[in-house]
Structure 1
């Protein structure tokens, strides 16, 4: 049985007011395999979701959200989705591009004067780069910006600086390579895009996304600032030690009390139902029903290869669009996905991938801090393989 999408969202993210709700649809092989990862102590639990433009065809939860308290994993459990935030930040930039307020080809210094005169480090010397970095460079991780210097280390912990103060620190760092010539995954670059959204829109970054993405799509559980109740309903992040799962320490994206800014590169909490709504809008080329988030033209720019032949990504065969990673050649962990599939992973193993050719999206929500490379994890590969194998090809 296929549930209408609205019913699936009701099941995924809202607590019913009364009575029993029907069990969500299942792909038994996916549920069984995820339970095996729990039994082997590779995961405390998992939420998996598979959908098409017609609706959700699998929604499952196994294991526990918190082992110590025996809190069951449920389909509405919140997860730190970390870098899955990046495409949503890029969406904010492209919404402003739709309004003619900026262009991906703008120099960053046009919107943030702190970046004027930024230098390039060559050996032990500094020189002017061939050109200033652009928004396109930030969107594709080809800017040459380095990772955060020690002076800005609290950006992901205490977050006791504003986003404006944080990006001012970024601007003082010399580039590590000529803009546009290499790929280097760059959290500071995406955080800089968040500040550009603030400057160009005249609104705080998280407020802009709330009004332009989360509210229109009714993503009611997606937030940078979870309430106390939401924190209590979130999955604990674990690491594996001596064959057992233990709560992870020093989480770079842990909930920060009195934080002065959200983290555009990776600060969102979300749940399966909200991410399904977003993914369905991506299958709709930027629109869900009558609600359009971004123009079809700029959606196409976001989800096509923008990095040419530059080697990118954390697994073979990848390229980058604007914010999204894009499958250029299906192989290895992406062998079951079509070329042109786009999506992103997160630091704690979470994944979402949208495959327009198969009219398919897959969402994996787990909470492991020490997978090393979540994009290449056997958990991701097995989930995707079993999901695709269970579905009739389009």
Structure 2
């Protein structure tokens, strides 16, 4: 285990490096970038096996980019190659970003994590479980840790205000605080952001996170200029064994035009690197401050008790909108205790490892992959990077 002094010094070095390194990632300009051959080989094997059509992978260490690569195809029908600046629907990787936005309001004193949800969405005052009124109200902390008892689909209908009322009327899966149930709770948080800030949720994220961090390709509604860079979503045809174009409400602006705090963002490897490096730095990126170190620690520290089993892989607990690795094993064996992040429905993965000072990003577009958090693709990518960097 590295000393706190070394970790602090390394983070300050990372801040300085980012003022030079990160701007070079803004576009796929063709300039030379570092590539770890073992990572490309590991991912390419699964491209060859039709697990995914293509992928963008990024690894950073101590704030410095050590790997950024694109393999395979962004679109099979047109034979379009994957590029480093490709855009992806990141699905539930949206959740930690929403939680981080809420924490800016906590710092401003406009929100308390232990506030009852009903303070912002009055309909939650009448929530019942098994026909009985709750003894204690559902809190924002419970919503952020998926222990609120909420469950079911994560779509947003008409508006976050309307969706808040829908969720308040939805039967609970369990007594709040007793079980972990993956939920649309971050959609509740999106509405709380609107009420507490007085701004639409999407506008607030743009002002407080995307613009300051220069995340210029992170959006709920890609522009006409951005659309050609979006990687095609595929599903595996089990009869033919081939990848076929797929569709989903996630990221579909035509069917679901409302910004979705649980699943709605598109982004790129470069943008997500900026976000996760900010978190590893303790809330800073260069001269830009998003949060205090204490707030970052609150978000990324396990909040759920040991007796509550959380997540989609063994050995983790839940922070505030973030999964936190407690005991690395299996698919997470390359990560350190305290690593935080989140996966997405289409196989995407984003993780920050504070002990090793690393960011791991895996971007693909594959539905019906099963448990993407436990996928061989994720495991092989992380293991290859860790092995190469540990030599």
TM-based fold match above 0.5:
yes
**Cα deviations by residue, 1:209-254 (Å, 9 ceiling, x for unpaired):** 10000111100000011112322210111111121100113x1314
Seen in structure 2, the aligned counterparts of structure 1 residues 199 and 266 have a Cα distance that, compared at 3 Å, is same
**Aligned pairs for 1:18-167 within 5 A:** 21-121=30-130, 126-148=131-153, 156=155, 161-167=158-164
Q: Determine the structure 2 residue equivalent to 1:325.
A: 323
RMSD (Å) for aligned C-alpha atoms: 1.8
**Aligned pairs for 1:236-275 within 5 A:** 236-241=232-237, 242-249=240-247, 251-257=248-254, 259=256, 261-275=258-272
User: Where does structure 1 differ by over 3 angstroms across 4 or more consecutive aligned residues?
Assistant: 2-13
**Aligned pairs for 1:172-183 within 5 A:** 172-183=169-180
- The DSSP-based 3-state class of the residue aligned with 1:114 is helix
TM-superposed CA distance for 1:41, in Å, is: 1.2
Seen in structure 2, the aligned counterparts of structure 1 residues 197 and 53 have a Cα distance that, compared at 3 Å, is same
TM-score (norm 1): 0.91
Seen in structure 2, the aligned counterparts of structure 1 residues 292 and 254 have a Cα distance that, compared at 3 Å, is closer
Task: Give the aligned length.
Answer: 374
CA separation in 1, counterparts of 2:63 and 2:329? 27
TM-superposed CA distance for 1:112, in Å, is: 1.1
- For the pair 1:13 / 2:18, whether they are aligned, the reply is no
TM-superposed CA distance for 1:390, in Å, is: 0.8
- The DSSP-based 3-state class of the residue aligned with 1:33 is helix
- For the pair 1:211 / 2:204, whether they are aligned, the reply is no
CA separation in 1, counterparts of 2:35 and 2:107? 39
CA separation in 2, counterparts of 1:238 and 1:13? 26
1:53, 1:284 within 8 Å by CA — same for their partners in 2? no
Q: Which of 275, 282, 289 is equivalent to 2:286?
A: 289
- The DSSP-based 3-state class of the residue aligned with 1:364 is strand
**Cα deviations by residue, 1:153-195 (Å, 9 ceiling, x for unpaired):** xx73xx65111111111111232211111000002x1101000
CA separation in 2, counterparts of 1:231 and 1:358? 35
Structure 1: state its 5+ residue gaps: 149-154
CA separation in 1, counterparts of 2:127 and 2:204? 28
1:93, 1:193 within 8 Å by CA — same for their partners in 2? yes
Seen in structure 2, the aligned counterparts of structure 1 residues 177 and 322 have a Cα distance that, compared at 3 Å, is same
1:13, 1:75 within 8 Å by CA — same for their partners in 2? no
